[in-house]
Structure 1
Amino acid sequence: MIKNRKLVISTAVVAGVVAAAGVGFAMVTGDTTTSSSGYCAIMPDAVGLYEGNPVTQMGLQIGRVDHIRSKGDHVEVSFSLDAGRHYPAGVKAVTRSKSLLADRSLELVGNYQTGPQLKSGQCIALDHSFTPKSISEIAGSAADFIDAMAPDNGKDSFQNAVAGFDAALHGNGELARAMMQHAASASANPDQLISDIGSSILNMAPLTDEALQRWSSLRSILDQMPQVVDAGNKLWPGVLNVTNGTGWLVATLYDIQRSYGDVLWPLLKGGVADVIHLAATRSKDIAALLESIPPVAAMLRQQADNNGGLAITYAPPTVNVGGAEIPAAGLLGLTLAKGQ
């Protein structure tokens, strides 16, 4: 009896586990196979994109294209997406292919993190859709470029080239003539041209040799250049101050000239000019006089400071005529009186 009861309980437990696993499997399968439709993207074109083509994200298929409708200058691509994923409202749509010849897939660019989501019935705007250039567009662009460079009418291209050459040379005839003359003279005597080039190279040789010999000095100068530039930056405010002071000095001199110029200029052109001319012509005599001042001053200073030094007693000479007394007169005074 007990064994039968245990067998019944074990059978019930196993049946319950199997039922739960079946329900879970059914739920998972349902989630993965269910898809939601109603999404669309406004694309510039749908070249290489067909109904049933895959919709991918990072290369993995997440849906498929349902319908493609032309809307004038753009195309509306309707597609469905697998359930279980979320996409941002600002997701971008790009048609992607491994080559220009293969069918393309619709790639959704952008992963959802936070914020609004892309909902069913909502279309991706045209400014969020991008398509690569088609083969026909690439070929057409190349053809347009070739036509612009070489039109079908060869006469027009030659005419345009001549007209452009004429416009470029307009007003430059003398320069072109001089250039051609110099080129002709150089071509007429190529040996001289080659000789001049060789002379230039030979003349540069001592300079380069000297530069190599003094490279250590040049490198030292370059190494010290940052400190010199820094010192120059520090001295620059002083230059600005000098400039400001010079401006003030010029303004002051201008005020003096405007107020006292009629008095100063005659004086500077007259007496001051004569004094400067006399000083310039007698510069040697003035220099000799100035050179004699320090010895004389030193001698006088020594006589005044040294009480026990050499002293000379001087008395003016007098004349005794032996008669009535005549007041004594100095020799210097008599000489001056006679000169008068």
Structure 2
Amino acid sequence: MSRHKRAPRLIIGAVVVTALVVAGYFAIVRPPPHTGYCALMPDTIGVFVGSPVTMRGVPVGTVESISQHGTAAKVDFIVVGDRPVYADAGATTLTNSLTFARQLAIVDTGTITEPWDNTVCLSKTVTPKSMSDTLNAFAQLSEQLLGPDPAQSDALARGLGAVDAATAGTGPVINEIVLKLGSAVANPDAGIARLTALLDAVSAISGKITSHWGDVKTMVTMMAPLLQQSAEEIIAPGIVIMRQLRSVLPILEDLADTFGGSILAGLNDTDRLLNLLRTGVGALVQLMSSVPVLVQTFQSVAATEPKPIATQPVSPTCAGPSQWGVCAGAGPAELLSVLLSGIGAR
């Protein structure tokens, strides 16, 4: 029984050993198919022989050798399998951490499917700055921000302090604005509905204009002679009048300076005159209503025959009658009675 139990184990072990031997043969003696390429890099900082070669972050090969080629560094690498390097490809070095080791990344636009000629090195290459170069650049930037004057070395700090003081207390306002913008972006239906209604209204107006374009064109065409006539009969004479007013306005100004006070005083007096006329309008109406009666009376008096005036006997004291039959020495009372008797006779 023990021999029958050990036989399957021996068979499984033999199969595993055979698979490992075959895999080692294909991996060492007969490596998988690959294609060799080269790239001319500005520098090879962080790239070594054996560094991985990636496409879109996936390892596809390794760096085989690094050599000097003029002012550039020539990097020979292989791509395992049938993965092609396209005609618009380029190369760069990158790292996923702060360590010094980098990987060679092959990048392309993905719009060209023609393969790259592997007998020509990739020339579209860039490399990032090293950490030391980056820190040196930051140091130079800091020196430029601080300025050459040592007394003004805190200018940047004072500027940041001024910005902080100017924006102090505005956090809630900015937060409210951001929240409103977020709500507007989250619920754009109302704005889109208003925009749609506006576009519909504009479309309706455009349709009306299109349907009545003939009438609009006729109206605009008919306005041309009207505008021409207005320019000739109104605008041109108006320009002449305005030019002539330049000589009249100084005269009017002198008249206003000379008689302006009297004219204004007269206008102020018209107010009192109107009040006086308003209060005496009743007597004026009665006076005007009696004018026709007086006119008729004078007309009737003028139409009657004159009658002789009765003369009175001469007083013994009268030296002689005058032409009115009154003593020459008569007093005013006697003269008035004669006049009134004559008027009564008429």
TM-score range, shorter chain: 0.3 to 0.5
**TM-score, normalising length: structure 2:** 0.42
**TM-score, normalising length: structure 1:** 0.43
